Amino acid sequence: MTRMIIAGAQLGPIQKADSREAVVARMIDLMNMAADKGAGLIVYPELALTTFFPRWYMPDWNEVDTWFEREMPNGATMPLFERARELGMAMTFGYAELTPEGRRFNTSILTNRKAEIVGKYRKVHLPGHDEYDTERAFQHLEKRYFEPGDLGFNVWRNEGAIMGMAICNDRRWPETYRCLGLQGVELVTIGYNTPAVNSQMNAEGLEKRLFHSDLSLQSGAYQNATYVVGVAKAGLEDGHPLIGGSIIVDPDGFVLARAETEEDELIWADCDFDKCAFGKTTIFDFARHRRVEHYGRITSQ
């Protein structure tokens, strides 16, 4: 029987001028709060170390690369890894990865309770566009600054549970969860930075954005009998609003905890991974019920 208190560490806004060191200090404050709740794992947002820089067009690639990490851990994040090891807490967080070969990914890592990196994921579904778009109120240049992830969707047995990662836009695609579900996933962690307004200026309100975020996370959890933890970077970043709405969802799709603010805020829930078994052996017993001979269109188009 594996039970773990899981914490979601929503981050409030990170301004362009904020240093990584200042952000890491905020992340450690949240980690200390999570330790007080007895958490065994803490989940941080996508691109947790910096502002959501894909909203800015930067013609100078040297400037772009100031938003990327060349190694992990590194000088700025080592205090976070050291605190996690002291507390015996596993973690996931997202960051912009620049590889030694010069490739750029929107990346997330998973550690064990000794702060050793046991898994890495690179965001597959990149929203937005790759050239400056004069029609937009603000840019969303993930397709410019990142390559689609090249590691696929994987799971790791970590601290007694089968864990997988996704990032932000991935949560909107059912393929993400099914690829993990087919590997027996019991916990999917998903950090996100979601603009509160549509850059293409159609009146898509905050309520609709929050509804679609919940819908995506809850359906992924239910349809694959897994816990899902969605954690936002929220609030106003240099005048650009991001939604909050961090939630912890159980394998039946019910929300166990929800953030109420758009600031640094901890949510947590006591997760019993044995609760995944019922769905996986009855309604979502994939081996018994799926008919793959009819699904070819999903992988061929």
- Which span (29-37, 93-101, 179-187, 191-199) binds ligand ING, by CB under 6 A? 191-199
- Minimum separation from the CB atom of position 193 to ligand ING (A): 5
108 binds ligand ING (CB under 6 A): no
From the list 111, 107, 109, 110, the residue with the least C-alpha distance to 122 is 107
Sole binder of ligand ING in the list 107, 112, 139, 169 (CB under 6 A):
169
Task: Output the CA torsion sign for 77, 154, 140, 133.
Answer: positive
Q: Which is nearer to ligand ING, 162 or 168 (CB)?
A: 168
Q: Which is nearer to ligand ING, 238 or 270 (CB)?
A: 238
Respond yes or no on whether the N-terminal peptide bond of residue 241 is cis (omega within 30° of 0).
no
172 binds ligand ING (CB under 6 A): yes
Residues 35 to 54 in contact with ligand ING, rule: CB under 6 A = none
Beta carbons of 268 and 261 less than 8 angstroms apart: no
From the list 37, 53, 102, the residue with the least C-alpha distance to 233 is 53
216 binds ligand ING (CB under 6 A): no
- Which residue stretches of the chain are H helix? 20-36, 61-64, 78-87, 142-145, 174-181, 206-223, 276-281, 286-289, 296-300
- Minimum separation from the CB atom of position 195 to ligand ING (A): 6
In this structure, how many other beta carbons lie within 10 angstroms of the beta carbon of residue 33?
17
Q: Which is nearer to ligand ING, 34 or 96 (CB)?
A: 96
Q: Which is nearer to ligand ING, 67 or 156 (CB)?
A: 67
97 CB-side CA count, 13 A: 23
Sole binder of ligand ING in the list 73, 79, 127, 174 (CB under 6 A):
127
Kindly state the tokens that stand for 97.
């990865």
Q: What is the binding site for ligand ING (CB under 6 A)?
A: 127, 168-169, 172, 192-195
